[in-house]
Structure 1
Amino acid sequence: MMLWLLLCAPVWSAERDAVVAKLDGVAVVTEGELADWQAAQACYGEGALTSRNAGLMRLLEAAIAEKALKDTGASKFTQAEVEAEAARIDRETRAPDILACIKNGLKGERYLKAFVKPTLVESKLRSYLMQDVGVQAGSRKKVEDAIRKARQGSLQKAAKQYGLVYSSMTYSLEATTGSALPWSPYEKEFIEQHLKKLKAGELGKAAIESDYDFRAVRLLKTDGKKWFFESAYALKLDQVEWLKGMPKMKLEILDEGLRGWVKGIKGNPRLVATEVQ
């Protein structure tokens, strides 16, 4: 019944076009888009978040990230990109019934705007923060500086000097009994890619990059089954710190009730980029 009401309740054109929120003077959320988001979420069934508050925050988070990526030149979010994302969702969905429900309720551009584009924005933001050389230059440099310092000395001391997280670790090629932590295939992969090439006491020449950090390693010893090594890493710059470094966006909430709610929110990583009006 709730789904039927959300999909079929008449929302007149003037009401749909009514602006709920603006970023730097540009409308980013309308009543129609809120209603469409609620309708899409209702397809997930009982317990799904379908409130106006939840819808506003989800659409605002996407709008803030989209504007930040556009302002930095990271992405233009062309119509072709949005349509390609829609095609990807069609191919890879694990919930075809839910997707069909959403598509049946939201046709064409409404479906792309309320469901597909926010998904694309999140994917673009994640990829940009993980992979952009410029964004992550500071974190990489700290590890590279520590490697240069540790070539003739202690990695632990170099880690402390450059603000890295230091630890000593043991990885195995396969699961072993008596280990304090469960074995992961990642250990074998890390050994093959980064530790087998090192001699005991040797420090890796370059920073090792993962999706989440940059790392320096020094092999301490190995018996051919276990590799004992020390490590120092710097986390990659996250979205909060990245957004803090950008000019503040002016966020206007035209709905008085929603404005008061948004102003009371603490700790949302996207809202740090805004000044709520």
Structure 2
Amino acid sequence: MTATVPGIAARLADGPDAVALVECRRGTSRTTRRGELVRRCHLLARALREEGVRPGHKAVVMTRDAHDLTAVSYALGLIGAVPVLIEPRAEVGRCLRDVAPDVFVGEPLAHLGRRALGWGRPHVRIPLVTGPAPFPLGRRLTTRAPAGDTPLPRVREPDGDEPALIAFTSGSTGRPKGAEYRHTTLAGQLDALTTLLDPRPDDVLLAGFLPVALLGPLLGVTTVVPAVNHLAPARTPPEELVGPVLEHRASIVLASPAVLTLIARHCA
């Protein structure tokens, strides 16, 4: 039997009143504290189970909403399913043929692409929509608390050798490839980043690349997600990046070269 590693619930247990995520959108922001994030993850885990998602299922998560991306990915991990992240610029149809997902969780625009372009056909059996949809695109994934004081579902610590995440490369230098991360791999990366960044309790991380929003709360730092144009990062107005840096006093920036170049040129 393989050794267990600290799971998502264990990594988020400390500091429930501390800010976990701040998402910035055109002059507004939305803040979620660690305790709120933990509760939403557990409610989502319950909803995913009720929709038929099971341990080992591969679940594509496609949304530009940092809160939904983070909470859904964590919730999938809590029940032993495997989140699959695909760059919006990648050849999505080919990526989905390669990974053959059981579940597709995404914003309405992603489901329009799935319907119109046949993404995931015939593998996807459970389509779930995040956010309001103008017309039926799949079942709505809700986080409504059940009536009464129902306890949150129990979760187990994962075995280190179990798959934890599949992340596809962008395809900018060749055909997109799906890299499979096991729980020990992710734990090792988090340990390495902790050593490299040496985060302090008052540090603020600017996540210029959307998947970094998944890492920040697990590192224990406030994570600010600016309004990056994820289809064309280099076309992001630099004020959308520099504004959150100044407003939230970001002390750590993790971003692609295109985003870092925008910040540097604007500041120069």
- Give the alignment's TM-score, normalised by structure 2: 0.23
Determine which structure has the larger helix proportion and give its number.
1
Q: Greater RCO between the two (CA within 8 Å, min separation 6)?
A: 2
- Give the alignment's TM-score, normalised by structure 1: 0.23
